[in-house]
Amino acid sequence: MAEFTMELNDEQKEVRDWIHGFAADVVRPAAAEWDEREETPWPVIQEAAKIGLYSLDFYAQQFFDPTGLGVPMTMEELFWGDAGIALSIVGTGLAAVGVLANGTEEQIGTWVPQMYGDPNDVKVAAFCSSEPDAGSDVASMRTRAVYDEAKDEWVLNGTKTWATNGGIANVHVVVAVVDPDLGSKGHASFIVPPNTPGLSQGQKFKKHGIRASHTAEVVLEDVRVPGHCLLGGKEKLDERLARAREKAKAGGVGVPPAGGWGRVKNAAMATFEASRPAVGAMAVGTARAAYEEALEYARTREQFGRPIIDNQGVAFQLADMRTQIDAARLLVWRASWMATTGKPFTSAEGSMSKLFASEVAKKVTAQAVQILGGNGFTREYPVERMHRDAAIYTIFEGTSEIQRLVIARTLSGMPIR
């Protein structure tokens, strides 16, 4: 088991500097263009693939880093470059995590490589959980998966929304209801292979921020997938559903699950729990980028015959911004280290890291705009885009309110609503 440390080793520093160089030399120069175009930056993804940055091997190395710091370090540097382009590069990872969290070794080996493709033919993947009437409230999910025993196929029907890479993905991972009587316990995840009939892209959203990342609805109409596309397999699902039914009969309404109300697990939550510290690292990257822009501006911008950083009103803001960014990073690193070393989130540390870092990103980017004044409000300076991008962190993969609910339930053991 790796000892916790706040010092990156030489190999990690080398990887960090490599990613930072790509973010500085390739991502940042392209950021404004793809933000305006609101299109997937395929050329940038391909460049990332050519150098091995967009690949299963690279993310596997970071995912299995024994210190737990490989993934947050990667996310921070890429999102320091630009959040929209970075999300296009790492968005496939959420689907991959969905398979890693719920799939068998055979499923992982079969489907995860197809999510990335190769440098000459890059692919992306999509994780589809949210629905028009079921975002944070996963228990209200309506997309159904019905087993056709005669053909050993699952038939999926429903509409997913807010899906990163939805409709343009090579592989879709879809969370669906298999037993509606069990609420969120009756969910399962399915692989929808490439070119499966019945899956189509619905509305593509025009967004406030992260515009270079493709976000759309995914419509499922009598989508048939082979039985082996059920993540984890049917035997494991049947056992899990049987246990849930027995607990429901024995406990009834109002009885907390084993481990307390904050530790309910289902197919979607297993994915989000694994990815929340990574989202916190994304927020840290954006916040850090905005802080650095504001610091440089404050050093060079003169008013009343001196740099504006000479004024306490500006200097103290920068001091607070840096302090909050460092605190957010430490929460992210702690949660990432705990997850990697098998330490349970007994106080919802994963949600803590995502909550704090996302709130810091919103606050720091707003302060950066304020420090730049009128210039910060224009698209001539990147803090305007960073401020728009930062808004997503308190929304996706569990809003700040949901994170607080998870934390409060975990700490209290009560079904707080």
Q: Is 302 a catalytic residue?
A: no
Check residue 393 and report its DSSP letter. Answer: G
Q: How confident is the model over 92-114, as a mean pLDDT?
A: 93
18 pLDDT exceeds 90?
yes
Whole-number Å distance between alpha carbons of 192 and 174? 7
229 pLDDT exceeds 50?
yes
Confidence of residue 197 (pLDDT cuts 50, 70, 90): very high
- At residue 264, the pLDDT reads 43
Q: How confident is the model over 58-77, as a mean pLDDT?
A: 94
Mean pLDDT of the chain: 92
Q: How confident is the model over 228-246, as a mean pLDDT?
A: 94
pTM recorded for the entire structure? 0.91
pLDDT in tens, 336-373: 999 998 899 999 999 999 999 999 999 999 999 999 99
Task: Give the Å distances, CA to CA, from 53 to 21, 179, 194, 343, 383.
Answer: 12, 40, 23, 29, 26
Confidence of residue 250 (pLDDT cuts 50, 70, 90): confident
List domains and CATH numbers for the chain.
10-122 (1.10.540.10), 125-238 (2.40.110.10), 267-412 (1.20.140.10)
Residues in the chain: 417
262 pLDDT exceeds 60?
no
Q: How confident is the model over 137-159, as a mean pLDDT?
A: 93
- At residue 253, the pLDDT reads 43
Confidence of residue 4 (pLDDT cuts 50, 70, 90): low
Whole-number Å distance between alpha carbons of 160 and 192? 13
43 pLDDT exceeds 60?
yes
* Rounded-to-10 torsion of CA 364, 67, 334, 59: 50
- At residue 247, the pLDDT reads 84
- At residue 269, the pLDDT reads 53
- At residue 255, the pLDDT reads 39
267 pLDDT exceeds 70?
no
The mean-pLDDT minimum among 133-142, 251-260, 277-286 falls in 251-260
- At residue 272, the pLDDT reads 57
Is the Cβ–Cβ distance between 350 and 277 less than 8 Å? yes
Which of 14, 39, 397, 401 is the catalytic position?
397
263 pLDDT exceeds 50?
no
Ramachandran region, residue 70 (left: φ > 0; alpha: ψ -120 to 50; beta: rest): alpha
pLDDT in tens, 370-379: 999 999 999 9
